[in-house]
Amino acid sequence: MAAKRKSPKTKLLGREAAIPESPDDAELDRIPNKNGDSKFTVRFTCPEFTTLCPITGQPDFAHFVLDYVPGDWLIESKSLKYFFSSFRNFGVFHEECTVLIAKRVKDDIMPIWLRLSGFWYPRGGMPIDVWYQTGLPPEDVFVPDPGVAPYRGRV
- Known catalytic residues? 53, 60
Three-state secondary-structure class, residue 10: coil
Q: Look up residue 132 and give its DSSP letter.
A: E
Tally helices (H) and strands (E) across the chain: 2, 6
CA 134 – CA 130 distance, rounded (Å): 14
Strand segments (E) across the chain: 30-32, 42-52, 59-69, 73-75, 113-123, 126-133
CA 144 – CA 25 distance, rounded (Å): 32
CA 14 – CA 11 distance, rounded (Å): 9
